Amino acid sequence: MRYELRNLDDACVATTLLDADQSILSGLASESTLSVSGKYRIGKMSNQLGTIIAISNEKDFVCSSQKFKNTARCILNSLAYTQNVIDLQRSITNKNTARLIHNLTSLNAHNIQEVYSLIPQEEISGKIKGHVEYVKQTVIEHPIDAANVLLRIAKNNAAMKAEFSVFKKLFNPHPEMHPSQHVVHKVLLNVLYLFFSDFTDKNVDIKIDRSDAKAYFDYESIHVALYHLIDNAAKYTKPSSTFDIKFDTNSVGVAIVFRMKSVRILETEINRIYEEGFSGSIPTKIGKAGNGIGMGIIRTIIQINGGSVNLKSDHSTRENDFGIDFEINEIVIELPAQPRRNNRLSDFV
C-alpha cells in the first residue's frame, strides 16, 4: 500500500505515492474506497489527526475493502508518531547543517582576516592598478609574516575540509569509506605540520618517534580524527612543556600514543568528554571550551575504522600555573593492521 498522510492543516507529512498514482487517485472525490478496473483499490479517510489517501494493487487489498480500510486506518493512527519522528530528524539535520555553516563562516572570516593582517584592505581597494606589485613588494619586505599567514590559511583550509568530511561521513547513514594500508607516521605528519606555529607560539617542544608501521584505515576520515585531536592538544597543552608522540606496533595493529601536560580533566568528566555538547569545567572557565564535538568525533571515526581510542590522566602530576590546573594526559589511538568487519555508522551514533 502506498499512501500520503496529511495533517489537519492539509500539509503533507509523509508520502510514498508515485507520480503515476496521481491520475488514478484523481477520481477520489470524498472519503471512500473504490476499486479501479479491478486492478487497484484507492481510498481516503480522516480522523482527529488528519487524512490518509491510499492506493494499492495488492490482491488482498483489491479484493477486500475491509482489509484496505483497516490497514489505512492503522497508518493514519500513526500520524502523530510519524510527525514526531520527522520533526526530530529535521531538527537533527538542521542542527548539523547550522553548525557546518557557522564553522565554515568562522573559518572563512579567519582567512580573510589573515590576508588583511598582511595586506590592509584599503591598500588593495584603493589601487585600481598596481595592486599585484604592491602585494609582491609586501611579501618581499615581510617574508616571515607572509609565511605565517600562508601557514595559518592552510590550517584553516584543512579545518574546512575536516568540517566537510565530518558532515559527509558522520551524518550520512551510508558513508563512503576507502580503507587501505597507510604509513601512520606519514599521515600524522601531514596533519601535525599545520599546527607547528601554534605549538611554537606556546613554546611547546614536539617530540615524535620515527616509524614505518602501517595500519589499515580510510585516509580521509582518520585525517579528520587526527586534526581534531591535535587541535585539542595545541589548545590545551601547557605552555613551555613537551608534546610526545610515540608508536607501538604489534600483531594486531599500531598504537599512536600522545602524551602531554595539558589542562586537567576532572575525574567526574573523564567519561563525559565523548558526549556531544559537553565541555570540561576548566576549559569553560578559562574561555577555551569548544563546541563539544571534538573527542566524540575522534572516537566515532576511529571506531568506524575498526580501531579504538582511550584517554588516561595521571592525577599525581598535577600542577597549577597562573590559576590553571595541568596534569599529564595520555591519549592512545589504536588502528588495525588488517581489515576488520565493516562497521556501520549506526553502531556508534
Mean pLDDT of 316-332: 92
Same domain, 68 and 9: yes
Q: Please give the Cα distance from 208 to 245 (Å, whole number).
A: 5
Residue labelled with grid coordinates 502523530: 80
Q: What is the pLDDT of residue 202?
A: 93
pLDDT bracket for residue 97 (50, 70, 90) = confident
Mean pLDDT of 208-212: 94
pLDDT bracket for residue 187 (50, 70, 90) = very high
Q: What is the pLDDT of residue 339?
A: 84
Mean pLDDT of 247-259: 93
Domain annotation covers residue 342: yes
Domain annotation covers residue 86: no
User: Of 49, 77, 105, which residue sits at a domain end?
Assistant: 77
Same domain, 67 and 97: no
The answer to whether the CB of 179 falls within 8 A of the CB of 339 is yes
The answer, yes or no, to whether residue 245 has pLDDT greater than 80, is yes
Q: What is the pLDDT of residue 349?
A: 46
Give the count of domains, the chain: 3
Domain annotation covers residue 68: yes
User: Of 77, 111, 126, which residue sits at a domain end?
Assistant: 77
Domain annotation covers residue 156: no
Q: What is the pLDDT of residue 290?
A: 60
Residue labelled with grid coordinates 487489498: 61
Same domain, 130 and 193: no
Q: What is the pLDDT of residue 243?
A: 97
CATH number at residue 249: 3.30.565.10
User: Of 151, 186, 202, which residue sits at a domain end?
Assistant: 151
Domain annotation covers residue 83: no
Residue 27, amino acid: G
Residue labelled with grid coordinates 558522520: 170
pLDDT tens digits, 270-302: 878 877 767 777 877 777 666 545 788 889 889
The answer, yes or no, to whether residue 62 has pLDDT greater than 80, is yes
Same domain, 70 and 98: no
Q: Mean pLDDT score of the chain, rounded to an integer?
A: 85
The beta-strand segments (E) located in the chain are: 2-7, 12-15, 32-36, 40-46, 50-56, 179-183, 205-208, 214-218, 242-249, 253-263, 308-321, 324-336
Same domain, 108 and 136: yes
Residue 230 CB-half CA count within 13 A? 29
pLDDT bracket for residue 246 (50, 70, 90) = very high
Same domain, 226 and 318: yes
Q: What is the pLDDT of residue 298?
A: 87
pTM given for the model? 0.68
The answer to whether the CB of 333 falls within 8 A of the CB of 309 is yes
Q: Please give the Cα distance from 111 to 236 (Å, whole number).
A: 23
pLDDT tens digits, 220-237: 889 888 988 998 899 999
Same domain, 184 and 304: yes
Same domain, 137 and 64: no
Domain annotation covers residue 164: no
Same domain, 117 and 70: no
Domain annotation covers residue 54: yes
Same domain, 42 and 186: no
The answer, yes or no, to whether residue 318 has pLDDT greater than 70, is yes
Same domain, 247 and 334: yes
Q: What is the pLDDT of residue 162?
A: 76
Q: What is the pLDDT of residue 171?
A: 67
Q: What is the pLDDT of residue 163?
A: 78
Q: Quote the domain boundaries for residue 123.
A: 92-151
Segment of 32-41, 129-138, 154-163, 199-208 carrying the highest mean pLDDT: 199-208
Q: Please give the Cα distance from 13 to 148 (Å, whole number).
A: 53
The answer to whether the CB of 258 falls within 8 A of the CB of 245 is yes
Same domain, 63 and 134: no
Domain annotation covers residue 326: yes
pLDDT tens digits, 107-155: 888 888 888 888 888 877 766 677 888 889 989 999 999 998 998 898 8
